[in-house]
Amino acid sequence: MTTHLQSKGMVYLVGAGPGDPGLITLRGVECLRKAEVVVYDYLANEQLLDHVPAAAERIYAGKIGGRHNQDQEEINTLLVKQAQAGRIVVRLKGGDPFVFGRGGEECEALGAAGVPFEIVPGVTAAVGACAYAGIPLTHRDYTASVTLVTGREGKDKDDSGIDWHSLSRGKGTLVFYMGITTLRRNMERLVEHGRSPDTPVALIRWGTTPDQQVLKGTLADIADRADRAGFKPPALTIVGEVVALREKLSWFDGRPLFGRKVIVTRAADQTGEFAAMLAEQGAMAIECPTIRLVEPEQWEPLDTVLREAGSYDWLVLTSGNAVRSVFRRLEVLGLDARVLGRCRVCAVGPKTAEALGEFGIRPDLVPSDYKAEGVVAEFARMDLAGKRVLFPRADRARDLVPRELARMGARVDSPIAYRNILPDSLPHEALHALERRTVDCITFTSSSTVRNLAAMVGEDRMLDLLKGVTVASIGPITSQACRSLGLEVAIEPASYTLADLAAAIEAFFSC
């Protein structure tokens, strides 16, 4: 890009897709990562803002209370103004910018002002929502054409700009955007112009998200069905014989955790992995970190033992956090895994072993019981008299391992490798869901996640917020912390891993 163009700023019109944040394009993510300003819509999933630099300005231009926060002219002016200030602007629009997204109008305004822009296409709602509903837009045995139509014409508008006669001929699939408020009149017009009243129709609300709802009917009765179901926007209307294929092709809303809201309380940089496991089974995983991991108050105790790590007989690491903290510190000290020398390594659990593998180390010991008691049981089979053990730990870690190994005769050093502190606040989405009583399950993956939640909202309020919410705990120690605070644990896997916890949650809700 030339210096002249860059000095004038740049606007990227990015299609956010129909709702599932995984449906944005790679190019769209690239644009978000370099944005200085993001102007986003009501239908753009806010999780996509996680790709945006922390320093970037975020401007909501969607709906508030059912009304648009800014009209189109104001948005056009905003984009021009921000770009002319020399900023990189991303206009994040639900679906595709050029399919009923008013992207053309915004580009006209940018072009008239001499502002350079780029269009990044997105998965439009018709394609995404129909795919997730199991309704192919075209099918060799049913239809070879599809038409996208705006459904937003006044209920009593007789002089329609839509060619209803042409739409009603043949068996092509019709997709109406924004047509729920005009559903009855639109269906009547199709019948009036020759389409069979028995033609299958489907309404898809919040397509591609865990809130997806699909309502089926015909041209003759879909409006009545929608009224009885209280079906509200945003939704698409699909008309055509292909709707009948949903019975065979439905996949998304048949997953075991579909529609379940699950709160994940791990540390902020760790919630994503577990949330993704739950989302794969159809859950709406709401990230609610109750832990923030920070550096020790002083590094010297850890630095001292790491410099002489090769003089120890065992290095015991009980979590991926401990692994990462130790090896990041080694890097700062100008050292690497070679400093371990003859020191053998114990990893508590497969995830800890996996984290070690990232640094080229295979653990010598992985206890079959993935908790402190399992570590103690394994070392009880050995002669630890006079052996040196290095146990880098969290500031709030249980003292069982160093205490018991010392009792066996080992000389144990247990410096703090990281601290576990409270986040500043709970995420709005998680707190809002708890207050509205829409949460099905909450997960706790350590005792700290339980205690920290109680500390952040108060024990009494926590118990009130979690009334009727299924509590899932990763293991007995965490379950004990839950019960000590008055929570009833309904789910606890036999093995204490995230994968096993996810499987246990799936089994519980599948019963």
CB atoms within 10 A of CB 253: 16
Q: What is the pLDDT of residues 395-444, one digit of tens each?
A: 988 899 999 999 999 999 999 999 988 998 899 889 999 999 999 999 99
Tens-of-pLDDT digits for all 511 residues of the chain? 434 444 569 999 999 999 999 999 999 999 999 999 999 999 999 889 989 999 999 999 986 655 667 889 999 999 999 999 999 999 999 999 999 999 999 999 999 999 999 999 999 999 999 999 999 999 999 999 999 999 876 445 556 789 999 999 888 999 999 999 999 999 999 999 999 999 999 999 999 998 999 999 999 999 999 999 999 999 999 999 999 999 999 999 999 999 999 999 987 767 788 998 999 999 999 999 998 899 999 999 999 999 999 999 999 999 999 999 999 999 999 999 999 999 999 999 898 999 999 999 999 999 988 888 999 999 999 999 999 999 999 998 889 999 999 999 999 999 999 998 899 889 988 999 999 999 999 999 999 999 999 999 999 999 999 999 999 999 999 999 999 999 999 999 998 889 999 999 999 999 8
Distance of CA 100 to the CA centre of its chain: 26
Task: Look up 41 and say whether it is catalytic.
Answer: yes
Q: Which CATH number fits domain 261-291+423-510: 3.40.50.10090, 3.40.50.970, 1.10.940.10, 3.40.50.920?
A: 3.40.50.10090
List all residues 6 or more positions away from 350 whose beta carbon is below 8 Å from its beta carbon.
Answer: 366, 370, 497
Q: Do 467 and 439 contact (CB within 8 A), yes or no?
A: no
Cβ atoms of 335 and 306 closer than 8 Å: yes
Q: What is the DSSP string of 425-436?
A: S--HHHHHHHHT
Residue 456 annotated to the active site: no
Dist CA 489 CA 504 (whole Å): 12
For the chain, the residue count is 511
- Residues of the chain within CATH 3.40.50.10090 domain(s) are 261-291+423-510, 295-420
58 HSE (CA, 13 A, CB side): 16
- What is the CATH class of 9-122? alpha beta
What residues form DSSP beta bridges with 388?
A: 411
> H-type helices in 365-468, by residue range?
372-379, 400-407, 428-435, 447-457, 459-465
CA angle 95, 96, 98 (to 5 degrees): 140
Write down the residue that tokens 């009593």 correspond to. Answer: 156
Distance CA 314, CA 183 (A): 70
What DSSP designation does 475 have? S
Going by C-beta distance under 8 Å and a sequence separation of 6 or more, which residues neighbour residue 476? 371, 492
- Backbone φ and ψ for 96, nearest 5 degrees, come out as -115, 135
Residue 446 near residue 322 (C-beta atoms within 8 A):
no
Q: Is 127-250 a domain of CATH 3.30.950.10?
A: yes
**How many other C-beta atoms can be found within 10 angstroms of the C-beta atom of residue 407?**
12
Q: How far apart are CA 187 and CA 218, in angstroms?
A: 9
Q: Are 92 and 21 in contact (CB under 8 A)?
A: no
Residues forming CATH 3.30.950.10 domain(s) in the chain:
127-250
Give the CA-trace dihedral at 104, 105, 106, 109, to 10 degrees.
120
What is the rounded CA–CA span in Å between residue 275 and residue 261? Answer: 11
Cis, peptide link before residue 234, omega less than 30° from 0: yes
Determine which one of 41, 216, 351, 371 is catalytic: 41
Active site includes 178? yes
Residues 6+ apart with CB under 8 A from 381: none
Q: Which of 10, 178, 187, 462 is catalytic?
A: 178
pLDDT at 270: 74
Distance between terminal CA atoms of the chain?
Answer: 58
Positions of CATH 3.40.1010.10 in the chain = 9-122
Buried (b) or exposed (e) across 20-44, using 16+ Cβ within 10 A?
bbebbbeebeebbeebbbbbbbebb
Nearest to 133 by CA among 249, 283, 16, 43: 249
Upper half-sphere CA count for residue 51 (Cβ side, 13 Å): 22
Write down the CATH number for the domain with range 295-420. 3.40.50.10090
Beta strands in 66-156 (DSSP E): 67-68, 88-93, 117-120, 146-150
